[in-house]
Amino acid sequence: MRIFEGVATALITPFHEDLSVNYEKLAELIDKQIEDGVDALVICGTTGEAATLTEEEHMEVIRSAAKMINGRIPMIAGTGSNSTATAIKMSKEAEEAGADAVLLVSPYYNKGTQQGIYEHFADTANAINIPVVLYNIQGRTGVNIEPATIARLAKDVPNIVAVKEASGNISQVAKIRKMTDPETFSIYSGNDDQVVPLMSLGGSGVISVASHVIPGVMHKMVMDYLAGDVKSACELQIRYLNLMNALFCEVNPIPVKEALNILGCEVGPFRKPLTPMSPEHRELVIRELKAAGLM
C-alpha cells in the first residue's frame, strides 16, 4: 500500500524556553500544515529532534500528535533505534497511539551487517500491523542500507512498503527502483533538492524539511510531476533551490527552526548539542526567505 503520494513534512518539535515540549504550538503547526495542503506528517523524526527527547517524551509527542491530527492525513511516527528491542517497543506503542505508519532509521553507532540490518527491520515490522517506511541516511547512521537489502525486505515482509532515501545517491535510487515493485513499494526523497530527479526514477514524493516554510510549493512540485508537467516541477525545484540549501546550511533542524522563528512562528530553542545559528548563516536564511517572497 502507498501511505501517501506527494509531500510529508518531517515536523519539528517546538519547545518552550525551558526546553519542555510546547504542545500548544505543536497543535498550531499541525493545523497549519494540514491547511496548507501537505499529504502526511512525520512526527519525531530527525527534524523533530527525537534524539534528545526522552523515551517518555518521544511517545507522548506521538500520542498527542495522533490526537491532534485525528485522521485528517496520515501520521508517520519515527520509532527507529539502534536497539531492535527498543524499536519494537516504540513501534508497538506508536501503533497503539494511532500512528498510520512508522519510520525506522537504520541502526546507528553499532551499525550492523546487512544481515543484521535486515533482521532489525524484519523483526520490528513483524511485531506490528501498520506499514513501515525504511529510512536510509548514511551520513547520520554511518551505514548504508544496500539496495539488495531493501529489495529483500520489500519482498519478504509485507508491511515494509517504502523507503525514505536520503543517501543523495541517485544511482542507488535507480537500483532500488529496478529491484522493487513500484505497485507495492514506494520511494520517497529524503532530500528537498533532489525531489524531481528521484521522481524521474519512479519516486512517489518527498519527506520534506522545506515544506515547513513552502508547503504549497513542495506539494505542487510533486503533483505537477505526477500529472506529467515535468517542466513546471523542474522550474519549482530550481527556483527554490537556494532556499532549500539555506535550510541545510547548518545541521538539521537548526536552520528550519530558526527560519520559523524569523517568520514569527515562535517554535522555541534547540536542545543541546544543537545550538543557535551563527550570525552569518542566520543572515543567509533571512536573505533566501526574502528572495522566496516569504518576508
Catalytic residues: 135, 164
Cell output for 258: 530558526
Answer yes or no: are the C-beta atoms of 108 and 82 closer than 8 Å: yes
d(CA 158, CA 198): 24
d(CA 88, CA 147): 23
Answer yes or no: are the C-beta atoms of 187 and 205 closer than 8 Å: no
The distance from CA 241 to its chain's CA centroid, rounded to whole angstroms, is: 18
Answer yes or no: are the C-beta atoms of 86 and 54 closer than 8 Å: no
d(CA 243, CA 212): 12
d(CA 153, CA 148): 9
Nearest alpha carbon to residue 11 among 55, 64, 56: 64
Spatial neighbors of 246 by CB under 8 A, at least 6 apart, are 255, 284, 285, 287, 288
Q: Residue 41 pairs with which residues in a beta bridge?
A: 9, 75
